[in-house]
Amino acid sequence: MSDILIVDDERDIRELISDILRDEGYQTRLAANADDCIEALNAAPPALMILDIWLKDSRMDGIDILKTVKRDNPGIPVVIISGHGNIEIAVAAIKQGAYDFIEKPFNIDQLMVVVGRAMEASRLRRENADLRKRDLTTADLIGTSAAFKALKAQLDKVTKSNGRVMLTGPSGAGKEMAARYIHANSGRAAGPFVSVSAATIEPERMEEVLFGRQTAGRGVEKGLLEQAHGGVVYLDEVADMPPGTQSKILRVLVEQQFARVGGADKVRVDLRVISSTSRDLRSEIASGRFRQELYDRLNVVPIPVPGLEERREDIPALARHFIDMFHRAQGLPQRDLSAEAEAMLQTMAWPGNVRQLRNLVERLLILGEDTGPIEARELPGETEGVAEDGRVILSGALATLPLREARELFEREYLLTQINRFGGNISRTANFVGMERSALHRKLKSLGVVTSAKAGGRVAQYGEEEDEGED
Ligand SMILES: Nc1ncnc2c1ncn2[C@@H]1O[C@H](COP(=O)(O)OP(=O)(O)OP(=O)(O)O)[C@@H](O)[C@H]1O
């Protein structure tokens, strides 16, 4: 990401700019029209773009390309080249997000000043983004539960080797985080960590994205595998890999080398492969969707990553960790968690695992109060209920109480609800809940529930006795 993409329909001009910049030590890539430009952007985002406004034989002009870049790659600074006297267009381009402009004809010094400034801005922006990303992705793994400790012990063991690791576990449980942990604590920590999400790469572009491209005009554009040289390549959700990609990856693993698209040279890269799946690969293999040979090569050390519900003990520490993180990275308020909110978080269902917790914390910090602890009432309307798998979901209020008090609260609310359902009719209620009428009366009395025969409204309540409601 330290090269400059020069987009100009006039060959002399783009080559002149390129020569000047290369003399100054920059790497350049050239594009003559919108299609070449978009292709180059997709192959790898450059550190800077120099873009001519008028492009002949191009399906988009410079302003349209600028808009596309600002939409898809807002971090790339774009310097516009405008014709002499076209100051309005240059101003319009700046409004669309261009970093600066140079007017034709320009001299070398002007060009170098603008490019120097833009590259510096780009470097700072990247550094910032990297810092933020590191903050969000490679922070220490949080957890003290038994399930987490078992995971950590396995991760620590594999940091010392170079073996291929397959992380399994539900989505959002922290598989990529675990892979980053292995990388950061291994001998490859100084090398790159490159994440490949095969499902999101268009199958037609897969080879180019993975293996890179080699052309006479543009030289070498490194693919993801080459970018990961000396480090770790993380194959995310391998079960989502189209069959063609599975074969290609398998061949690289077997041959330990590959060729770039359009190139004959064999490229050898030094990689550690860590992959992940949230699906059962054995059944994917059985149904013919995943190749057994690839599975055997990737699954050298399988490590299961537990879902959040298997490590509820870690939820408060994780929630506090995310509060700190969002405070530092985004300036969101640093709030504590009330005991009820904490208990409620620990009893909720977490189908989206740690990611869901992180998103919830972010939402609470954005939408909630600026000060004071996060309270249970701010949490999503999860209350007691019976989950699909038959487990009871408890609210924070119940979860913080001793059993006797929790049972009393439950019984009172349960019986109130039933009496109201049956319109205050104690016989029918007793029949439904499976108690003798007299026993139910005693129970209600001990719980402080009074019933009222008044028509309409809530006919049973907790509190002062009004009259002996009867059927
Ligand atoms: N133990 C942990 N400590 C701190 N943060 C964690 C931990 N586990 C996961 N996270 C955070 O939870 C979020 C989801 O984790 P990650 O992306 O690693 O999950 P994943 O299992 O790879 O998900 P998917 O399979 O959907 O890609 C990330 O923001 C990550 O930083």
What are 193's two structure tokens? 């960590």
For residue 46, cis peptide bond before it (omega within 30 degrees of 0): no
Q: Which residues pair with 266 in a beta bridge?
A: 259
Question: At 455, is the pLDDT very low, low, confident or very high (cuts 50, 70, 90)?
Answer: very low
Q: Enumerate residues lining ligand 1, CB below 6 A.
A: 137, 141-143, 171-177, 236, 276, 278, 318, 321, 354-355, 358
Q: How far is the CA of 104 from the centre of ligand 1 (A)?
A: 50
Threshold 0.80, pTM exceeds: no
Mean pLDDT for the chain? 84
CATH of domain 162-304: 3.40.50.300
CATH superfamily of 403-462: Homeodomain-like (1.10.10.60)
CA of 319 to the centre of ligand 1 (A): 13
Domain ranges of the chain: 3-130, 162-304, 308-392, 403-462
pLDDT of residue 172: 92
ipTM score here? 0.96
Exposure on the CB side of residue 347, measured as CA atoms within 13 A: 24
Q: 308-392: which CATH number, 2.102.10.10, 3.40.50.2000, 1.20.120.1730, 1.10.8.60?
A: 1.10.8.60
Cα 358 to ligand 1 centre (Å)? 9
Ligand 1 geometric centre to CA of 137 (Å): 8
Between 419 and 315, the more confident residue is 315
What is the pairing mode between strands 212-215 and 100-103?
unpaired
Q: Which atom of ligand 1 is nearest to the CA of 136?
A: 31
CATH of domain 3-130: 3.40.50.2300
Question: Mean per-residue pLDDT for 197-220?
Answer: 81
pLDDT in tens, 289-329: 999 999 999 999 999 999 998 888 899 999 999 999 899 88
- Looking at residue 204, its pLDDT comes to 80
Query: Are the beta carbons of 450 and 461 closer than 8 angstroms?
Result: yes
